[in-house]
Amino acid sequence: MQKINLVKAEPSHVANQLLLGTGEVPVQYTSKVHSFPPPPMPLKNGKSIEKHSATPFPKYLHPDPEEVKLVVSLLSQLHGRPTRGEHVFPVLDSIVRTILSQNTTDKISQKAFMSLKTSFPSWRDVYEAYGSGRIEEAIKCGGLAELKAKNIHNILAYLLYEHFRRCPDGEPSYEWLRNESTAFCKAELIKHNGIGPKTISCVLMFNLMRDEFPVDTHVLHIAKMLRWVPSTASAEQSYAHLNFRVTSSLKYPLHVLLVEHGKRCPRCAKRSLQLPQEGPCPLQNLHDKLLDEAYSKRTAEPLGNQNGTTTSKRECDLGCNMLPIKTEPETPVKRRKVLQHLDMQG
């Protein structure tokens, strides 16, 4: 059983709990005589999410474990340390919540989910109500009601049609995913329309408690600020790189803290603040510190060779060996060139 707990209770934490199926939402199931099979529904072609065994940016050696640990520590001091609770909600609830969260805010999607749960005591009831307009009516506050209702119905029908034996008392269920491998869960969930890699990564991390690191708008923006990924990196590329680089045991707190920080920090928010600021940005000095360290490693440490003389080049610690060592004092122009060079890697 699981619930996100931070040291300080904050509105966004509550929203995350509710959005991702980790909050206190009453769930009721009823047993009914089934009338199956339903008609097959279209599924997406079998593309899958790549495993965390490679990165599209092999020359980017950041973040390293020390950087990850430092960022988690600094942000925990500001926002509170995220810890998993003891209560876990049904996997299917989490999936439906993420579908309802598309193109709307956390607050409104939570309202739509609560409306759906209030209107229908069970997922079987939702399945059987499709076509009556009642589902769309229940979730209309979140927008795209027809599309979301269709995607939810397709998942319920898929479970009842393809996995009926795993649906207790005819109630659609994805609880059996808890016993499956992460790779299997990804391949299974990516089949559905309305469920993308980010949604799956969130379900895996928050609900199934796997070592996943979802990359959303906030995470992507801050990762670029910290030069963990190239400035031109896409969310998909960053997902692959960061899941490869971030220490598994710190993926959960780092994700939660970056999202929280992206909502509250004027320096690190991509757009306007979604929540009140909690204090000065602790990553500001980190940016400078990391850049200074990266620069000094490339410029201020001429390497001695076997003859006792210094060499004019050393290998860039991001994997590039084209950066010349500067033995003369640095200047703002040189520093800028080095940083531009770093930006070009990957």
Which positions are catalytic? 198
Min dist. Cβ of residue 280 to Zn ion (A):
8
Torsion on CA atoms 326, 328, 331, 334, rounded to nearest 10? -20
Min dist. Cβ of residue 77 to Zn ion (A):
13
189/257 with CB nearer Zn ion: 257
Interface region with Zn ion, contact rule CB under 5 A, candidates 197-205, 265-273, 291-299, 337-345: 265-273
How many CB atoms sit inside 10 A of residue 333's CB? 8
Binding-site size for Zn ion (CB under 5 A) equals 5
Q: Which of 8, 47, 51, 267 binds Zn ion (CB under 5 A)?
A: 267
Interface region with Zn ion, contact rule CB under 5 A, candidates 120-128, 178-186, 260-268, 328-336: 260-268
Interface region with Zn ion, contact rule CB under 5 A, candidates 20-28, 67-75, 274-282, 301-309: 274-282
Min dist. Cβ of residue 97 to Zn ion (A):
28
Between 217-225 and 283-299, two packed helices, what is the crossing angle to 10 degrees? 40
User: In this structure, what DSSP letter does residue 101 have?
Assistant: T
Decide: is 270 part of the binding site for Zn ion (CB under 5 A). no
What are 203's strand-pairing partners?
A: none
**Amino acid of residue 13:** H
Interface region with Zn ion, contact rule CB under 5 A, candidates 50-58, 82-90, 153-161, 259-267: 259-267
Q: Would you call 272 helix, strand, or coil by DSSP?
A: coil
Q: Which of 75, 240, 281, 316 binds Zn ion (CB under 5 A)?
A: 281
Q: Which of 20, 265, 294, 338 binds Zn ion (CB under 5 A)?
A: 265
Give the whole-angstrom CA distance, residue 94 versus residue 185: 14
DSSP letters spanning 164-196: GGGSGGG----GGGGGS-HHHHHHHHTTSTT--
Give the whole-angstrom CA distance, residue 245 versus residue 58: 10
Q: Which of 202, 203, 233, 283 binds Zn ion (CB under 5 A)?
A: 283
Interface region with Zn ion, contact rule CB under 5 A, candidates 156-164, 276-284, 294-302, 335-343: 276-284
187/275 with CB nearer Zn ion: 275
Residues 78-117: x where in contact with Zn ion by CB under 5 A, - otherwise, as a string: ----------------------------------------
3-state percent helix, strand, coil for the chain, nearest multiple of 5: 50, 0, 45
Min dist. Cβ of residue 292 to Zn ion (A):
18
What's the number of CA atoms in the CB half-sphere (13 Å) around residue 6? Answer: 25
254/265 with CB nearer Zn ion: 265
280/319 with CB nearer Zn ion: 280
Q: Which of 268, 290, 294, 338 binds Zn ion (CB under 5 A)?
A: 268
Q: Would you call 84 helix, strand, or coil by DSSP?
A: strand
Give the whole-angstrom CA distance, residue 19 versus residue 21: 6
Give the whole-angstrom CA distance, residue 7 versus residue 30: 37
Give the whole-angstrom CA distance, residue 51 versus residue 53: 5
Residues that bind Zn ion (CB under 5 A): 265, 267-268, 281, 283
